[in-house]
Amino acid sequence: MALIRDSDRQGAGIGRRAVLLFGAKLGVVGLLAWRMHQLQVEQADRYRLLADENRINIRLIPPARGLIFDRSGRPLAVNRPNYRIVLIREQAGDPERALDELGRIIEIGDAQRSRVLKEVSQKSAFVPVTVAERLDWEDFARVAANSPVLSGIIPEVGLTRFYPEGDATAHVVGYVGPVSERDLKRQATPDPLLQIPRFQIGKTGVERRLERALRGQAGISRIEVNSLGRVMRELDRNEGKAGQNVQLTLDLPLQRYALTRLAGEAGSAVVMDVRDGSILALASTPTFDPNLFVFGISTENWENLLNDPHRPLADKPVSGAYPPGSTFKMVVALAALEAGLVKPGETVWCPGYIKIGNRRFHCWKRVGHGHVDLRRSLRESCDVYYYEMAQRVGIERITAMARRLGLGSRPPLPLPAIAEGLMPTKAWKERVHGSPWLIGDSVNAGIGQGYVLASPMQLAIMTARLATGRAIVPRLVQSFDDVPVARAEPPDLGIPGEHLKYIRDGMRAAVNHRRGTAHAARIADRSLAMSGKTGTSQVRQITEVERRAGIFRNEDLPWERRDHALFVAYAPVSDPRYAVSVVIEHGGGGARAAAPVARDIMLYALHGGPAPLSAYPEKVRPEIRKRRATPETSPRPPQRDRA
């Protein structure tokens, strides 16, 4: 009986364990079934997407960059095919052998070969490495024709930027270049396009300032890849949106002529249509070829440009800041008229200098001008007259008038590094120099020297405002994708017409009166007569010892110590159409160096091409005829001249 009971108990224990084991197995199977249901049914879409993401890559397609044209539709920046050859190590097998075979068709230099082999060894086997680019069509066609037997060598066609006008528009249009780390840091939210290898963006000029509009929007390519990341096929493609085409207000023939006329000088010229502010020419010399920068400039070329004392990389019309010299005298005269501190017929005695304290401030004419009124002060550029006006008016009124005429503020143009210039005040000097404003500071400012600085662009704006009496604002962009840029009617300056008439009469006499400082540079055609003002700004201090011994002539001084030459003008006098400003660095006298250049550029603008010889004064016609036969390529020696 005892044995039976023990056996029963043992059997019952085994049965319970079996039930528990079966239950545990059933629970595991149920859990697996539930999890499989969850993965395959409830979360199927999620894991299918993850699988697709592992299998499908999305790549950005660079858009075609917008084109840039001049006002008449002439191309200034275009895209052209970039014929290049790439090598894929996986397909080539032996890269050195592949390069040997390719070298029998096109030339491959030793340095080029070493670079390719280095890149091939550093990158994955399926990643293309550029062997050569910017090939001509003949070389590219030969490679393409032989590509079936060139293992791993693949010809490709892309787009690259090209500037058909070269140095003619280098400073205005600018150039593109590869994205740098500095470029990425400047972006608050970098465009993914900037991460594409070899992608190029605007570096200078309009290319830089209008980068967003010109760049366009990236396209998208969905490609299928294998587990190694190798491309298997393209599933679909969206080409994206090309950049906007930009039409500038520049007139290309006039731009070319201005550069030719400035050839050999370190100078600048601005031509503005006074009716709507359109910039027709923005010339800076010497210049450079922007195409050198597109794929990376050589060290030799870069150092040559960087070390040139004439600063070919500087956009002088907008970034240069110069003492405006006597071209500033109209500002001082208007400030005096507005304050009621001078009458047009009132005269000031000019003995050739004035004395303030122990210091003499000299007129450019050592023997003096005698009795000088407002009109004659502009006609013959008497310094003593403006020494007196500056003391009467004071720097605050002078600066206020200068700002109304466009000086001392950055023009709203799509260009980088635009100079603000400097129109000083008493508070400015105290803040910057920690010293009070002196009478001598006002006297220097009265003739556009001392702390006063202006760019050629600002001087052109000033001239356009004097010619029209309106607050003309310069404009460089005419349209985006053929849609004109809206512009507002410029408001009145608020300067009495009578005051402007006095200034205009003085500017007209400065060019057309036989004693005017720019009489030799006048326009002979009276229907196109020009009004203007010369300027000569010193870059060195003339000592009393020099004055007693006789002031050195500019041509006897090193180039960098010679005076700057300036001239501003508008024409025709009766119905102004164009304003011109010319600045020639260390060019000497404004009347001799800058005024003839400005006259020639003005005549070209007025005639829409070379002017007839009859438009020039008879004495200079042989020179004009000779220049047209042999384009000017070197500067004339600058000389000390009337202001």
Is 60 exceeded by the pLDDT of residue 403?
yes
Please check whether residue 488 is in contact with residue 276, taking contact to mean a CB–CB distance below 8 angstroms.
no
Instruction: Give the pLDDT score at 340.
Output: 97
Residue 520 has what pLDDT?
A: 96
Contacts of 439 (CB under 8 A, 6+ apart): 356, 357, 391
pLDDT digit string, tens, across residues 474-511 = 999 999 999 999 988 999 999 999 999 999 999 999 99
DSSP state of 41: I
Listed range (56-70, 149-163, 225-239) with the worst mean pLDDT: 225-239
The single residue of 221, 326, 381, 581 carrying the catalytic annotation is 326
Max intra-chain CA distance, the chain = 155
**Region 338-362: what's the mean pLDDT?**
95
Half-sphere exposure of 231 (CA within 13 A, CB side): 14
**Stretch among 26-30, 302-306, 586-590 having the lowest mean pLDDT:** 26-30
**pLDDT computed for residue 57 by the predictor:** 63
Mean pLDDT of the chain: 88
Query: Which is more confidently placed, 1 or 260?
Result: 260
pLDDT digits (tens, 9 = 90+) for 409-466: 999 999 999 999 999 999 999 999 999 999 999 999 999 999 999 999 999 999 999 9
Its pTM stands at 0.84
Segment 179-206 mean pLDDT: 80
260 contact partners, CB below 8 Å, separation of at least 6: 631, 632
Question: Which H helix or E strand runs over 608?
Answer: none
CA distance 287 to 183: 24
Q: Beta strand pairing status for 267-273 and 348-350?
A: unpaired
Q: Report how far residue 350's alpha carbon sits from residue 353's, in angstroms, rounded to the nearest whole number.
A: 7
3-state SS of 31-42 is HHHHHHHHHHHH
In which band, very low, low, confident or very high, does the pLDDT at 544 lie, cut at 50, 70 and 90? low
The pairing of strands 219-225 and 267-273 is unpaired
Nearest Cα residue to 152 out of 196, 198, 120, 197:
120
Query: CB of 350 within 8 A of CB of 385?
Result: yes
In the chain the domains, ranked by start, together with CATH numbers, are: 59-248 (3.90.1310.10), 252-433+442-629 (3.40.710.10)
Tell me whether residue 384 is exposed, middle or buried, using C-beta atoms within 10 angstroms of its C-beta: 0 to 12, 13 to 18, 19 or more.
Answer: buried
**Is 326 noted as a catalytic residue in this protein?**
yes
